[in-house]
Amino acid sequence: MQEANSVLKKKDETPYRFLLVDDSEFARKNIARIVFLLGGVIAGEAGTGKEAIEQYKKLRPDVVLMDITMPEMEGVDAVGEIIKEDDKATIIMVSSLGHKDLVKKAIGLGAKHFITKPVQVEYAVKIVRSVLEENGENI
Amino acid sequence: MENNLTHLTDKEFESLRVSFFQQSFEILESLSEEILRFENNPDDEDALKNIQRYVHTLKGDSASMGLSSLTETAHRLEDILHMLRERSLQMDRDAADLLLSAVDIFTQILKNSKDENPSVVSTKNLIERVDSYLNACSNPSSPQIPLNPPLLKGEIGGLLTEYHQLQIESALKDGLSVYEIKITFDAQCRERGVGAFMLNNQIAALGEVIRWMPDIEDDGIEMTDEIRAIFSSRADTDIIEKSCRMAGVSSEVEIKPFSFDSPHPNPLPQGEREYFAASPKSSPHRDTTLRVDAKRIDEIMDLVGELIIGRSMLAQSVYELRERLGKEEVVSNLENINSLFERSLSELQKDVMTVRMVPIDHVLRKFPRVVRDLSIEKGKEIRLEIDGAETELDKGIVDVIGEPLMHILRNSIDHGIELPEERAQKGKDRCGAIKINSYHEGGQIIIEIGDDGKGINIEKLKQKAVEMGIIKEEDAAKMPDEEALDLIFHSGLTTADEVTETSGRGIGMDAVRRTVEELKGLVQVRSMPDMGTKFIIRLPLTLAIIQGMVFKAGEEFFAIPLSSILEIRRIFRDEINTINGMESLKWRERVISLIRLSEVIKHDTEGNRLLRFARNDTTALFSPEQNKSFVLIIGLAEKRVGILVDKLMGKRELVIKAIDNGSNVVSGASILGDGSIVLVLDVLSLVKKAIAAA
């Protein structure tokens, strides 16, 4: 277990690469703080579920932080598509309160965890860190 | 109340208390039903199972509310139930009596506690009866059932249904370990339902979750700080513990071996709700039902009424704008908005109405018990048949209609149905029948209570009425039967007359009539010698909205509740007779007074703002070019009165608004779509006024 505030690195000592998916640019900026605190890098951003899938295929990020409601393709559907593409994908849902059933569905499809909006950054960092550590154990 | 829920705030406790009483009274009603069902069919295992569950639930609930006398009595009762289950006891009338007395005592304990009445309900007598019953019945060869020590304070066992207990027992038998897992949520976790869902996914991989408390699908979980699981597994505790630790979801995890009597020190409201949900009455859709204070729905209904009136005023203004501006776009837009409002409002109104509707079963479910007890008391054999218990009506009506119905029922048992020997002599089935039927008909609800007893002795009734000076002897002879029967609703006749006396129950047939009238309904009675008596009650579906017949008299619009109208017929000028200045009409072989509303209102409202009705009565009625019109025959008990109408506008749904009008013949006002005001007439005072004038 690493120190709570220490920077998280992959086994090859490179930083984790994140794909941020949210239709609101402001929300993406906000989520970016999580990435910053974890010492990760932003590999790409997407504003719709469709873009998220394209970006995922192109960039193969380590973590996807995925909004649950978006135009063109809902986050839940994007989760299903991404997992189909890569069943080891690490996706964490980001959703405002009241989408309980959608979040459960996303988790059922293979998302690893969830963060509720408005994002409390330290709490979110704790969740992302635990998911990544868990992954590390399983690899 | 001394409770075991001291960790709750006053407000939480109060709301828990309210739901405790509500649910417990419901359970008690279901309990009596099941006891009667079981008495009728001692092979009905489901009935017994339900009885056991209900008593068990009451025991557990009352323990957490600190009602120890109820808890202990329920516990003793379980011994009897256990023996019935084992068939070392036979269900018979004595056993049923004992169980039903227990229901009565429970009801009394709960009532006292609810009203904070400090008087103590003695359970000593009942417990002695239970003991002597058990002693008398116990087979010397069968071992005495050991009494469990009375440590039932909110035990976790109480949160489990028999099904869960069975699962636990079979898991233990299979060599699995059963644990009680307590998980405290991370204080920052905000979708706890999702968190619990993830926890469930995790640990379900290691074994079987027998029960989550509260149910993780329950919305209440969002307010819970901790959840418990009864979990059976072969895995080690540290592996289970690890899978329960989930960053951002759980903060503390405690695992211990499960025990049926382990104390459950923190039964949260959600847990309690689960507890009730575990009773067999609960519907599978419980997550989506809520209990709401009826007052709040009334407030919403009131607001909807305001909106509907506002909308019709808007419609009128839009109409005027159209007249003035013609085909302006802004007018068309307003018209569209208006019709959108109209549609949505009528949907809204319908929806709110539906929320207020409850099945009449709420009232009728008490009746089988009354029939049983009273027929035993009177030495009669009576079968009760209930049809249409699912028929829905307004909660406000359900709340008050019970007593009149009960009175009619008692009357039928007491005076209608004959003794078995008498029935046999008449060639009737020894067992009498009382049928209750309720159904919807034309925007009204009809409730019929009929028996196949001896019928009402009409001659005796007339004689009594003459003696009491209610009718004159010469009138009595020619009084048609239908009219004479209505005499039983006369207040003078109910107190002393043997025919209608009801063993001092406190309310007579006149009170039945009064209650029904207050609900804007109508009660009628039919009776045939030796064939039986039938009461027919017509009620509006709801109190806030009436089905009214709207008509014009003079220049004004009026409405009368449809439920009060017996007949609408044409009337020709030469059919009207004038006797002593009173106009009357011959209708179905009787003479009824006619009312001209302009007269009544003028007379009634002298000196107040309704004076504008006071025009000399040269109304349009029977104008030279027209010598026929309509008359509405309205009825209240045996009274019949006709109202003369200039023009019938038709049947409308009217949202009643109370008005302070200084006129007691007008009960409220409503607004028609075109904005015109309709005065809704109070039939009761209208008839009284007409009778007084005659």
pLDDT given for residue B581 in this prediction: 72
CA distances from B574 to B171, B578, B585, B587, B596 (A): 90, 10, 10, 14, 16
Chain B interface includes A129 (CB < 8 A): yes
> What is the mean predicted confidence (pLDDT) over A108-125?
89
Range of the domain at A39: 17-134
pLDDT given for residue A112 in this prediction: 93
Inter-chain touch B188–A131, beta carbons under 8 Å:
no
CB A35 within 8 A of CB A61: no
Residues from chain B contacting residue A115 (CB–CB below 8 Å): 248
- CATH code of A42's domain: 3.40.50.2300
pLDDT given for residue B153 in this prediction: 30
Distance from CA of A72 to the nearest CA of B (A): 25
| Of B350 and A109, the one with more pLDDT | A109
Which SS3 state, helix, strand or coil, does residue B335 take?
Answer: helix
Q: Which residues of B touch A (CB under 8 A)?
A: 186, 188, 190-191, 193-194, 197-198, 201, 246-248
Which SS3 state, helix, strand or coil, does residue B471 take?
Answer: coil
Buried b (16+ CB within 10 A) or exposed e, A31-60: bbebbebbebebbbbbbbbbbbbebbeeee
Strand pairing category for B545-553 and B532-540: unpaired
Which SS3 state, helix, strand or coil, does residue B71 take?
Answer: helix
Inter-chain touch B190–A116, beta carbons under 8 Å:
yes
Does the model's ipTM exceed the 0.90 cut?
A: no
The confidence band for A81, taking pLDDT boundaries of 50, 70 and 90, is: very high
Q: What is the pTM of this model?
A: 0.48
- Tally of domains in chain A: 1
CA distances from B129 to B91, B385, B440 (A): 16, 32, 46
Torsion of CA B84, B90, B92, B98, to 10 degrees: -40
Distance from CA of A16 to the nearest CA of B (A): 19
pLDDT given for residue B448 in this prediction: 95
CB A127 within 8 A of CB A113: yes
Distance from CA of B83 to the nearest CA of A (A): 47
Mutate to test the interface with B, among A104, A117, A122, A133 (most CBs of B within 10 A): A104
Identify whether A11 is part of a domain.
no
Inter-chain touch B198–A107, beta carbons under 8 Å:
yes
Distance CA B694, CA B691 (A): 5
Q: Which residue among B188, B191, B198 places its CB closest to the CB of A97?
A: B191
Q: Considering only alpha carbons, which residue of chain B is nearest residue A133? A: B247
pLDDT given for residue B507 in this prediction: 55
Inter-chain touch B190–A127, beta carbons under 8 Å:
no
Tell me: the pLDDT tens digits for B9-48? 677 777 777 878 888 888 898 898 889 888 888 888 888 8
pLDDT-flagged residues of chain B (< 50): 1-2, 139-158, 262-287, 494-506, 603-625
pLDDT given for residue B430 in this prediction: 92
CB B108 within 8 A of CB B45: no
Inter-chain touch B191–A113, beta carbons under 8 Å:
no
pLDDT given for residue B491 in this prediction: 66
Which SS3 state, helix, strand or coil, does residue B447 take?
Answer: strand
Mutate to test the interface with A, among B186, B194, B200, B223 (most CBs of A within 10 A): B194
Measured in Å, how far apart are chain B's first and last C-alpha atoms? 60
Q: Considering only alpha carbons, which residue of chain B is nearest residue A101? A: B194
Tell me which CATH homologous superfamily contains domain B10-137.
Answer: HPT domain (1.20.120.160)
- C-alpha closest to that of B177 among B155, B207, B213, B215: B207
Residues from chain A contacting residue B194 (CB–CB below 8 Å): 100, 103-104, 107, 114
Q: B157-270+279-284 maps to which CATH number?
A: 3.30.70.1110
Inter-chain touch B198–A113, beta carbons under 8 Å:
yes
Identify whether A90 is part of a domain.
yes
CB B678 within 8 A of CB B669: yes
Q: Which residue among A107, A115, A120 places its CB closest to the CB of B197?
A: A107
Which SS3 state, helix, strand or coil, does residue B358 take?
Answer: strand
Pick the CATH number of B545-693 from 2.60.40.420, 3.40.50.300, 2.40.50.180, 3.40.190.10: 2.40.50.180
| Summary mean pLDDT of chain A | 86
Amino acid identity, position B376? I
pLDDT given for residue B160 in this prediction: 65
Q: Considering only alpha carbons, which residue of chain B is nearest residue A106? A: B194
Q: Which residue among B191, B198, B201 places its CB closest to the CB of A116?
A: B191
Residues from chain B contacting residue A107 (CB–CB below 8 Å): 194, 197-198, 201
Q: Considering only alpha carbons, which residue of chain B is nearest residue A112? A: B198
pLDDT given for residue A115 in this prediction: 93
The count of residues in chain B is 694
- C-alpha closest to that of B75 among B147, B153, B166, B146: B147
Q: Which residue among B188, B190, B197 places its CB closest to the CB of A104?
A: B197
Identify the residue whose tokens are 């054999």: B381
Amino acid identity, position B677? I
Which SS3 state, helix, strand or coil, does residue B543 take?
Answer: coil
Chain B interface includes A105 (CB < 8 A): no
Chain B interface includes A2 (CB < 8 A): no
The count of residues in chain A is 139
User: Taking CB atoms and an 8 Å cut-off, how many pairs form between chains A and B?
Assistant: 36
Distance CA A52, CA A74 (A): 10
Distance from CA of B161 to the nearest CA of A (A): 28
Chain B interface includes A119 (CB < 8 A): no
Tell me which CATH homologous superfamily contains domain B360-540.
Answer: Histidine kinase-like ATPase, C-terminal domain (3.30.565.10)
Tell me: the pLDDT tens digits for B115-153? 887 777 788 888 888 887 777 765 444 443 333 333 223
Q: Which residue among A114, A123, A131 places its CB closest to the CB of B191?
A: A114
Q: Please, which residues have CB within 8 angstroms of residue B218's CB and are 6 or more apart in sequence?
A: B270, B273, B274, B287
Distance from CA of B257 to the nearest CA of A (A): 28
pLDDT given for residue B261 in this prediction: 57
Q: Angle CA(A89)–CA(A92)–CA(A93) in degrees, nearest 5? A: 130
Q: Considering only alpha carbons, which residue of chain B is nearest residue A116? A: B190
